[in-house]
């Protein structure tokens, strides 16, 4: 392509403004090796902290320390802590599957709702027929 045939316009920047081969468009971008939030969070949870347990000092991960603190609060009767422990336990025992919805209906409750639905549909049809006749 010669210089004369190249027209500058929409999506056609001047040759002087285009990136040269091997030149980055964002030379001061994210440095190599920078950690994302998930990595930093995981590393922080796995960092060790000293705790005293039964009069002895030992180092455990922050994750383990948090679980121990949550369990202690649950043992002391904190309702929110009890709920958090039981919910987490149920999720872990079900293989990371979602905890079954507490609002799920039994077969007898579903049968009652089906009969009610049929009754409402019949009444609506009867009203519609009455309006059509009138």
Residue 29, domain member (yes or no): no
- The tally of domains found in the chain comes to 1
The answer to whether residue 9 scores a pLDDT higher than 60 is: yes
Residue 126, domain member (yes or no): no
Q: What average pLDDT score do residues 6-19 get?
A: 87
Strand partners, 48: 61
The answer to whether residue 99 scores a pLDDT higher than 90 is: no
pTM check: above 0.75: no
Q: Tell me what the pLDDT averaged over the chain comes to.
A: 83
Confidence of residue 102 (pLDDT cuts 50, 70, 90): low
Residue 85, domain member (yes or no): yes
Residue 72 structural domain:
36-100
φ, ψ for residue 72, nearest 5 deg = -60, -45
Residue 20, domain member (yes or no): no
**Residues 48/61, Cβ–Cβ less than 8 Å:** yes
Residue 116, domain member (yes or no): no
Q: Which helix (H) or strand (E) holds 44?
A: helix 37-46
Q: What average pLDDT score do residues 83-93 get?
A: 89
Say which residues have a Cβ less than 8 Å from residue 47's Cβ, sequence separation at least 6. Answer: 61, 62
Report the alpha-carbon distance of residue 109 to residue 117 in Å, rounded.
Answer: 12
């Amino acid at each position: 392509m010669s210089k004369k045939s190249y027209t500058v316009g929409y999506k056609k920047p001047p040759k002087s403004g285009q990136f040269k081969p091997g030149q980055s468009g964002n030379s001061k971008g994210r440095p190599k090796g920078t950690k994302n939030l998930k990595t930093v969070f995981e590393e922080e949870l796995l960092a060790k902290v000293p705790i005293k347990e039964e009069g002895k000092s030992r180092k455990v991960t922050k994750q383990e320390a948090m679980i121990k603190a949550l369990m202690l609060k649950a043992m002391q009767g904190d309702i929110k802590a009890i709920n958090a422990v039981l919910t987490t336990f149920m999720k872990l025992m079900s293989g990371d599957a979602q905890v079954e919805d507490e609002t799920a209906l039994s077969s007898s409750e579903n049968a009652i709702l089906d009969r009610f639905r049929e009754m409402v549909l019949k009444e609506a049809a009867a009203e519609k027929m009455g309006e059509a006749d009138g």
